[in-house]
Structures are given as C-alpha cells and as structure tokens.
Structure 1
C-alpha cells in the first residue's frame, strides 16, 4: 500500500507527473483486477489521482477489493468519492477502508504533496451557464440547488487552504460542458455544474480532473482558462492507456 511517510518522487526539473483515472467501478465479483495497472502507474507517475466512482455500488467489499489491489501502488494516491460510492449507504465504511489503505481521500479538504496542492470535492449536478437549475419552486428542486451550491462552497473553502504555487483540483462531476461532449445533451445537467468552474476560476489552478462522463471528451477549459481533463477510464486519452498522465 502507499507509504504516507514517503516523500513524492520528482520526475525532474521540479515537474510532478500525475496519473489520473476515474470510474474504476470495482465490483464484488472481483473479475477485474487493477493490480497490474497500479503497478504500471507507479513506474510512470509520481502521484495517482482517482476522481470518484471507485466502487460500483458503494459496497464495503468492493472497497476492500480495491484496497487489496492498491498494494501494488507504491506512490501516493489522492481520491474523491463519486455518486456510485454512495449507492449502498455505506459511504463511511467505504471511505474508512480506503483511508486505511493509505488513500488521501478528500471531501472538501486540501493536501500538499511536494509543493503541489491537491483539492477535492465530489461536486454535484445542476447544469451549465445560463441554463443552470435555479432555486425556485418545489422544495426538492431547492434542495438539489442547495447541494450544488454547498459543494461549490466547500471547494472554495478548500482552495483557500492551499499555499502551494501549483494546484490540482479533483472532482467527480464535471465543471464544464466541453468534456461531456459525446454524452446525450439531454443528460448534461445531471453530469455536472458550472458552479464548480465559477469557483475554480477565482484561483490559480494548474489542472482540473474529473470523471463521471464515460462517453465524454478528454480535454476542455473553464471560462477563466483552467485546463480540465475528463479522466474516466472509458475516455480515450493521449497515453493510449486508461489513465491520463499530466505534468504539473
């Protein structure tokens, strides 16, 4: 498992190589193992980022299987949870298992690894631009908008904790519509929210990674120019592998 006391290795010239892969969807039947992939990533990168949907149904056994595979990962791991990780109402057990395995699991917090700040929240739905869902009408709608605003506020509070000159934002839901291209347009409002991008653009950010949109596109940018990468395992990436490799 990752050694939390071990300093992050640097690839050279102060550059940190960050591997990122989302939507692993580990299942109880254990038919898919990520052990070899984690070993490969450990050779290619300095830090591994997992942007949510680590499990398929949020079951404790799924988290245990993922933790077992992570023994092959010799570099620090930073992660957030996704919507699938909440499905079975066992999120505390899932989170506890992953933290015990050495994962830096972020939920409105920031952590600094070798002069790079990592900030993470799950994010939420709500839509984009002038078509964002507004807080009007039924209590259920207002509750949804309140949750979206809360996630953006938690992201902002975490961003204010960062003192590093380089920052990577880790989300599950998308902050922009560009990285959703390929998904049915009708479901865009359920895949992310511009409120996340509005928060990101208040700060200097080196890169943003998210998952959730399996049929989306790899790269885009916020209105303020922050580079955004959809690193869901299903999305085609320049590496030709399930993970992206970013130089920070």
Structure 2
C-alpha cells in the first residue's frame, strides 16, 4: 500500500481468532499454524472462549499453543472461560505464558515505527438498539443490564486511554458482539444474548479503527458500527481457519472514529 505521495504506508498486521475452545484432547492442534505468525503478523488477538469449560487444565493447553510465538499475544476471556469460576486462574496461566489478558484495560505496542493500542473487555449481552434489555424492574434484571453497562464503560475508558497515548492504530477487542451485523446467520431470537449496543456506543464515542469479537459461531465476519468503525467476527467457526489476518494502516489518532481503512487479507 502507498500513500498519495507515493511513499509506502505503514500498516500493522493483525492476526485474530476467537472461540477456539481448546481442551487436553486437542493439544498441539493450532500450534503449527500459530508458528507461522511471525512471518505474516505483528500481533495476535484472542477474542475469548479459549477453553471449553473454563478449567485450568484447558487453559494450560491454550498457554502452550501460544507460548513463545515471537509476537505479542493479547486476549480477552469469554463466557466459556468463566464457566467454572476459575477466570482468575485462567488469566494467571495465560499471563505466565506471556499473554496479556485485558478486562477493561489497554496495552500499547510499538509496531512498524508507530504505536498500536488494544483496549479489551469480555463484554456482555443485553441486545441492540430498539430491542435491548432495560435497567428497570427486578434486582436481577437491573444487575443483568448493569453488567453490560460496566463492561461498556470499561471499554470506553480503555479506548480513551489508547487515544491519549497517541496510538496511530486503535483496536477494540471483545468477546461479545458490539453490533448485530456480524450476527447474521444466528437465530434472531438469541441476538440479545450475543452482544450489546453499549459496546458499539463505547467504540464510537471513544474512537477506534477496528473492533474484533467472537462468540457468534454462526454469524458473519464483516460488520460496522453506526460511527463507521469496521467490526470483525473472528470466531473460528466463522473464519474457518486458524486465524484471520487484517492490514490496518496507521492513522492520525485525532482523526474521526472509523476513518481508517481496514483491509481483510486471506490467510
């Protein structure tokens, strides 16, 4: 890619996958593909549901798949990773393997002469504009919606920090979907359990150049927020390969959200 001046345009090569659902019986399944990553990618994003049932032995398998790849690995956990209430232990196992696990936080990486900021949160469900749960009624309902709101607030805060850090490429990493576009193919009855419009609001308000999520196995890869930020569903059943690869040109971090062109590259 070149700029209008004819000079080469710096890009960050983003590999991403979610919903790999590893367990001890599939040890080594993804390692051969992951070992090719230094040849084609600058970082690997893991979009949650890394395990089947959220157990430590499963997390240890994930850790060995991504240990020592030679590029940064950034992850969020998914609902499966929370199933056994061992999410803190799973985070520790992954961290010990060199994975940066985010939950309402951000990481800034030096890449291709610029800075890439990744803001991550698991997210939660609740539905999308016009068909979403409201913070009203029983305590259980209020708690449900507040969980979605807290997740979105964490993502907003982390993305704002990324912009303040002067990052030329800003990525929102979640497990739950921020938009319904990437759910196409899933039964519409379960859309409210697959994501929340609050995540998209956070992305558009704080600013991002790319949003990556998983969770929707029967969904669609490509989508976009109302503010024009490209969204990619990288659940492995959707992308059909070990990882998807995107080329994200560096942009002026002060530019409007979504103004960066995101190009998908087949792997």
Q: How does the TM-score come out when normalised to structure 1?
A: 0.91
Render the CA deviation track for 1:142-193: whole Å, top value 9, x for unaligned: 1100100110111111112112132000000000000000000000000000
Q: CA RMSD in A?
A: 1.4
Distance in 1 (alpha carbons) for counterparts of 2:68 and 2:98: 12
Q: Secondary structure at the match of 1:111?
A: strand
Q: Secondary structure at the match of 2:176?
A: coil
Identify the residue that residue 126 of structure 1 maps to in structure 2. 126
Identify the residue that residue 236 of structure 2 maps to in structure 1. 233
Identify the residue that residue 56 of structure 2 maps to in structure 1. 60
Higher strand share: 2
Render the CA deviation track for 1:56-91: whole Å, top value 9, x for unaligned: 111000111111122362211011000000011111
Identify unmatched segments of 5+ residues in structure 1: 1-11
Distance in 2 (alpha carbons) for counterparts of 1:246 and 1:144: 34
Q: How does the TM-score come out when normalised to structure 2?
A: 0.84
Identify the residue that residue 209 of structure 2 maps to in structure 1. 206
Identify the residue that residue 156 of structure 1 maps to in structure 2. 156
Identify the residue that residue 116 of structure 1 maps to in structure 2. 116
How many residues are matched? 234
**Residue 13 of structure 1: how far off its partner (Å):** 3.9
Identify the residue that residue 105 of structure 1 maps to in structure 2. 101
**Residue 26 of structure 1: how far off its partner (Å):** 0.6
**Residue 139 of structure 1: how far off its partner (Å):** 1.2
Of the three residues 62, 66, 71, the one matched with 1:70 is 66
Which aligned runs of 4 or more in structure 1 are off by greater than 4 angstroms?
none
Matched, 1:89 2:92: no
Matched, 1:28 2:31: no
Q: Secondary structure at the match of 2:205?
A: coil
Identify unmatched segments of 5+ residues in structure 2: 1-7, 249-267
Of the three residues 41, 45, 51, the one matched with 1:49 is 45
